[in-house]
Chain A
Amino acid sequence: MEAVHPSSAAPETRVFSPIFKYPSAAAPLLITQGAEALLYRSTYLLPSIPCALKYRPSKPYRHPILDVRLTKHRILSEARVLVKCRREGVPVPAVYALDEAAGWLMIEWIEGEVVKIRLNEWLKSRKEGNVADGVDAGELLDLMTRVGSAVGRMHAIGVVHGDLTTSNLMLCPRSTEGVDGDAEAPKMLDGDIVLIDFGLASQSQADEDRAVDLYVLERAFGSTHPRAESLFGGVLKAYEKSFKGAGVVLKKLEEVRMRGRKRSMLG
C-alpha cells in the first residue's frame, strides 16, 4: 500500500448507519446536517405523504450508556414539546411517529421557506438604505407582527425554543386557490409563520428563559438582516400583546441586553 501524505489525502466521506431497515418508494433525501441531527425529507405511510425525518446518529465519542440515554431523552423531549405546541394552537410541525431507540423522529413536512432566505431576498429586491423609511415597510412590519405573535403564543403555553433564529422560522404559503379575481401576485413576505427545530426547546415559564429567546432572535435579526433590524420593535410589540406575562418578559429583555447572554467570568 502506498503511503499517502496526510494533507493530500481525500477528505473522509461520512457514512451513516441506515436509519431504516426497509425501504420507502424514494430514499430519504438529506436536507441539512447539523452537529446533532440529520434532517431528511422522507415519506410517512404512503409515498404521497411527505415528512421531515430527524435522525440523531449515535455519537461514538461518548460512553454508550450515556449516548443511548441522551438520544432517547432528546427525541422524546422534542416530540413532547411539539405535540404540546400543536395541541395548544402554536404553529409547529405535527408529530407523526418516533423510535427513540433507533434515534429518529418523523414530523410533518412544512412547505415553504425559512424566513432568513425570504427576508434576504426581499431586502435585496429593495433599494439600499434603511427599509424602515421605505413605502413598503408595512409588508415587513406585518411579517414582524406575525413572528411576534407566534413566539408569544409559544411562550404563553410554557415552551421556550432555545434557538430562535430566522432559520428556525418558516414562511408557509397560504393556499392560493382562494378568492377569485385575486390578480395580485402573492407578496414575498406573505405566509403563515411556522416555528421549527425544537431540538433545544424546553418547557419553562421563566421570564429569563423567555427573554433569552427574544434576545437570541433579536441578535439573529441584527447579524443576519441588519437592514431589517430597525423594525424588530414590531416583533416585540406583537409579542407584548400576545399573552399576559409578556410585559414582564420585555422588562427582563432589557436586562439581558445590558449584560449580554453570558455573564462575565473570572479567569
Chain B
Amino acid sequence: MIAIGLEGSANKLGVGVISHPPHGKPAQVLSNIRHTFVTPPGEGFLPKDTAKHHRTWVIKLVKQAMKQAGVTIKDIDCICYTKGPGMGAPLQSVAVAARMLSLLWQKDLVGVNHCVGHIEMGREITGAQNPVVLYVSGGNTQVIAYAEQRYRIFGEALDIAVGNCLDRFARTLEISNDPAPGYNIEQLAKKGKVLLDLPYAVKGMDCSFSGILASIDLLAAELKANPGQRDPVTGELITTADLCFSLQETVYAMLVEITERAMAHVGSNQVLIVGGVGCNERLQDMMGIMAKDRGGSVYATDERFAIDNGIMIAHAGLEAYKAGFRTPLEESTCTQRFRTDEVFVKWRD
C-alpha cells in the first residue's frame, strides 16, 4: 500500500510518499522532500507569510514527490495530511491542498496528528519497540509513553516549547535562521566553555522555559552593553558562544531529567528522540549517557525524519488507514490544538 503525506504545520512544507509492503516488512520511503520558509536573522515566521509560502510551493512539491517516487495516481491508496497541532493558517493551506487532491484523484483522506506522525516515523526508522519518547520541536516539548492504545503524555513544557526558547534566543542574538536557528546555536555552543547560572525549572515531569529565556536574554543584553566581562570563577572572557553553551547545557539537562523520570516511572530503558530539536548532537549525547547509565539506549533519527516532513504524515496516516481509519471530506478540518493523547492508536497492541 502506498500513501502520500502532506505536512505544513509550521514553517516547513513537506511532501512524502511511503510504501508499506505486505507481511509487515519495513516501510519504504519512496520520496521525502521539503521546502523551508526561511526568514531574515532576528525575525520569526508569521502565520500569514508561512501560509503563503506553503500555497506557493505545495503543487510543485507534490508533483516532484510523485515523480521522485516513480508512482502514478492509481498507485496511491490514500492522502494523508496534518490535522494539527500547529499554526492555523499554514495548516489550513495544506489541508485545502489535500482536499483538492482527494477530490481530483478520488482517494480517501486521512487526517494525522503531527506528534503521532513523529513518533511512528521515529519507531519505524530506528526500530525502537516501545520507547519513552521525547518529542522536542519549536512548538512541542513532551515526554510520551505508550499505554493501552494511546500515546500518553507524562510530562511537558508548561509554557513555551524548548525549540521556541532556542529560536527566540537566536533572534535575540540575530543569528541566521538558515538552515535553522537551533542548528546555528548548536554550532556556536560548541565554542562555549563558561557555564553561566540560569534558572533550572523542572517540576516533576514537567518543565518550563520562559524564565530561562528571560534570563539568557538579559545576560545577552548585559554582554552587548558591556563586553569584556569575565567569569568570576575562571577569569575567562564571556562570549556569545558561552551564552549558547549555557543555554543548551541547562535546557537539555532538564529534558534528560524529565525523560529519565518517565523511564523510571514506566520501567522502560529505551528513549526515542523525535522533533527538530532532536537533531541536536549535544542533546543526543546527554540522553545517550543517561540511557547507558540505566542499561538502555537512545534512538534518534537524522534531519530527514526529525525535522518536520511529509513522510511521517504519510507513514502514520497509512497505519491508521490500514486499521480502517478515514477522514470524510466534511470532517477534513484542521485544529491548532490537538493533543497527542487524543488519538486512538488502533494499529498498535
Contact = CB atoms under 8 A, between A and B. Distances in A.
Interface of A: 11-14, 33-36, 59-63, 65-66, 69-70, 162-163, 200, 262-267
A61 B286 contact: yes
A266 B249 contact: no
Contacts of A63: 195, 249, 253
A155 to B, nearest CB: 17
Contact of A267 (B86, B204, B295): B86
Contact of A265 (B140, B257, B286): B140
Given A61-B286, A62-B253, A35 B264 contact: yes
B203 interface: yes
Closest 3 CB pairs of A and B: A267-B85, A267-B86, A35-B264
B206 interface: yes
**Majority SS at the chain A contact face:** loop
Nearest to B291: A61
Contacts of B260: 35-36
B195 A266 contact: no
Interface in B172-229: 195, 197, 200, 203-204, 206
Contacts of B203: 162, 200
Interface string B138-168: 0110000000000001001110010000000
A266 B287 contact: no
A239 B161 CA distance: 35
Nearest to A57: B293
Given A35-B260, A61-B290, A162-B203, A263 B158 contact: yes
Contacts of B264: 33-35
Contacts of B294: 14
A9 to B, nearest CB: 10
A41 B139 CA distance: 44
B286 A11 contact: no
A60 B289 contact: yes
Given A11-B295, A14-B294, A265-B161, A66 B156 contact: no
B84 interface: yes
Interface string B326-348: 00000000001111000000000
A14 B293 contact: yes
A20 B59 CA distance: 67
Contact of A61 (B140, B197, B253, B295): B253
A66 B292 contact: no
**Majority SS at the chain B contact face:** mixed
Contacts of B336: 266-267
Nearest to A73: B200
A264 B336 CA distance: 10
A61 B87 CA distance: 34
B337 A265 contact: yes
Interface of B: 9-10, 84-87, 114-115, 139-140, 153, 156-158, 161, 195, 197, 200, 203-204, 206, 249-250, 253, 256-257, 260-261, 263-265, 285-287, 289-290, 292-295, 336-339
Contacts of B195: 63, 65-66
Given A14-B293, A162-B203, A262-B156, 17 more contacts: A11-B295, A34-B264, A35-B264, A36-B260, A62-B249, A63-B253, A66-B253, A69-B200, A262-B158, A267-B10, A267-B84, A267-B85, A267-B114, A267-B115, A267-B336, A267-B337, A267-B338
Contact of A266 (B87, B156, B200): B87
A70 B201 CA distance: 11
Contact of B157 (A65, A264, A265): A265
Contacts of A11: 295
Contact of B256 (A61, A70, A263, A265): A61
A79 B338 CA distance: 41
Contacts of B200: 66, 69-70
Given A35-B263, A61-B253, A14 B337 contact: no
Contacts of A34: 261, 264
A35 B10 contact: no
Nearest to A63: B249
Nearest to B337: A264
A266 B86 contact: yes
A17 to B, nearest CB: 12
Contacts of A62: 249, 253, 256, 286
B142 to A, nearest CB: 8
Nearest to A200: B204
